[in-house]
Amino acid sequence: MRSENSQLQSMGKGRMANLELLRAVSMLLVAALHFLGKGGRLPGMTQNWLGGSGYLAWALEALAIVAVNVYMLMSGYFLAESQFKPKRLLQLLLQIWFYSVGIGLLAGAFGYLPEGGFTLHYLLLLFFPVSMEHYWFMTAYVFMYGFAPLLAAGIRRLDKRQLQTVLVILLFLFSGIKSLVPVRLDTDTNGYNCIWYLCVFVTAAYIRRYGIPFFKNKTRSLAVYLAAAACIFGGTMALRGIYQRTGRLENILTVCYEYNHILVLLASVAFFYLFYHIRLGEGLFSRLVCRVAPYTLGVYLWHEHIAIRYEWPGWFYQLAGQAGNGWSLLWQLPLAVILVFVIGILLDMLRTLCFTLVHRLLSLTGLYRRLLQWLDTLRVGPEKDSVYE
């Protein structure tokens, strides 16, 4: 199998439209997960009867659950061979802060506040979103980004067998055990922390350096993704059946849907490879994808803000003129996800415009220019940076 790096370089120095498409699709799936969960469409597994729409919702959840791991796999895939740039980290922190504070104050003006109102804790969530884990994913991502140069430097010193050994140990400790043992482990956070995404980073770095020959084409990648999703759904229903007969295993009924479960990781890797093997060419669609994809993080940052993360599904139901029930999920889910995505893209375009105007104004000052020059000198990693940014 040709190395991942050589395939990447063969695409030239432009953006890889297939992976930009994957970034956009991953964010669409994130919005779908939040609509299903926070929109009240996932019935509890302890219920006696889920109903047809309930089974459908959990099946769709199984297909979408790869989203977060895939986003981290993409980040690790490129960060493993890229320079660490404090300037990029600072830009990311400012982007998070813009949404956290901006939406928080705007939502408060319209009466949308978490339970308890404008408390000190809420203000801390707004002004220190990473440290206060306002967005758990961004906290994990920022910490992972900070550790990336250390991990990448260590990985470059390992040969294939050594890296395989490290990866097997990490996945066994943080995924394998919880996937096999029918109890809830005290150290298991279900993949909602930096530790798991450091494991995903190492997985992505291995893919980047050596690839996984098994996922040699789109057909096999799609088959593994669908099979893993079916196992996630089927395994969960099997656990539910045991619970209904014995009353046991209640606390692990949805373990197969957790980000650090081995089935979810397998589905995520297969989904990544599915898009990796797609070639979009250089037509209008590719240009559109490459134009839109850089703004996708704004989709997450607006709809998952603490003040509105449980409110926007209700706004959609009011707009649609129908409550969330029955088989209406078949049309409500895609429509809601598209609306959330489009709003997020437009908001982040506006945010980018604001940042650009502020940057131009500050560039008139010598202090700001010297600060940018100093930040540009703070780079860690290979002299030749990744072709993908």
When divided into structural domains, the chain yields a total of 1
Q: Is residue 337, in this structure, part of any structural domain at all?
A: no
Q: Between these two residues, 209 and 114, which has the higher pLDDT value? A: 209
Question: Cβ distance 113 to 107 under 8 Å?
Answer: yes
What is the pLDDT at residue 385? 52
- In the chain, count of helices (H) and strands (E)? 17, 0
Any domain includes 321: no
Give per-residue pLDDT as tens, 297-321: 999 999 999 999 999 999 998 887 7
Burial of 180 (0-12, 13-18, 19+ CB in 10 A): exposed
**Is the pLDDT confidence value at 201 over 70?**
yes
pLDDT of residue 257: 98
Q: Which residue has the higher pLDDT, 11 or 16?
A: 16
Tens of pLDDT, residues 67-85: 999 999 999 999 888 888 8
Q: What is the pLDDT of residue 185?
A: 93
Task: Record the pTM.
Answer: 0.91
The string of DSSP codes covering 97-156 is HHHHHHHHHHHHHTT---TT-S-HHHHHHHHSTTTTTSSHHHHHHHHHHHHHHHHHHHHH
Residue 191 in domain: yes
Q: Which residue type does 333 have? A: L
pLDDT number for residue 13 = 39
In a domain, 144, yes or no: yes
**In a domain? residue 151:** yes
- pLDDT at residue 47 tops 50: yes
Q: Which residue segment(s) compose the domain that 140 sits in?
A: 4-15+54-279+355-377
What is the share, in percent, of the chain residues with pLDDT greater than 90? 74
User: Where is average pLDDT lowest: 14-18, 204-208, 258-262, 321-325?
Assistant: 321-325
Please count the other Cβ atoms lying within 10 Å of the Cβ belonging to residue 130: 18
Is residue 96 within 8 Å of residue 89, measured between CB atoms?
A: no
Contacts 24+ apart (CB under 8 A), 373-379: 375/86, 375/87, 375/90, 376/87, 378/85, 378/86, 378/87, 379/83, 379/84, 379/85
Which string of b and e fits 306-331 if b means at least 16 CB within 10 Å?
Answer: bbbbeebbeebbeeeeeebeeeebee
Which residues, at least 6 apart from 192, have a Cβ–Cβ distance to it below 8 Å? 136, 140, 259
Q: Could you read off the pLDDT of 114-147 as tens digits, one per residue?
A: 777 788 999 999 999 999 999 999 999 999 999 9
pLDDT average, residue stretch 89-100: 95
Lookup: tokens for 171: 């996945």
Instruction: Kindly provide the b/e burial profile for residues 335-349, where b requires at least 16 CB atoms within 10 angstroms of the residue's own CB.
Output: ebbebbbeebbebbe
Mean pLDDT of 200-223: 96
Work out the average pLDDT over 154-175.
96
Residue 211 falls in which region: left (phi positive, over 0), alpha (psi -120 to 50) or beta: left
Whole-number average pLDDT of the chain? 90
Q: Considering the domain boundaries, does residue 9 fall inside one?
A: yes
The band of 9, judged by pLDDT with boundaries at 50, 70 and 90, is very low
Q: Is residue 285 part of a domain?
A: no
Does 324 have pLDDT greater than 80? no
What is the residue type of 25? Answer: V
Look at residue 304 and tell me if it is in a domain.
Answer: no
Backbone dihedral angles phi then psi of residue 301, each to the nearest 5 degrees: -70, -25
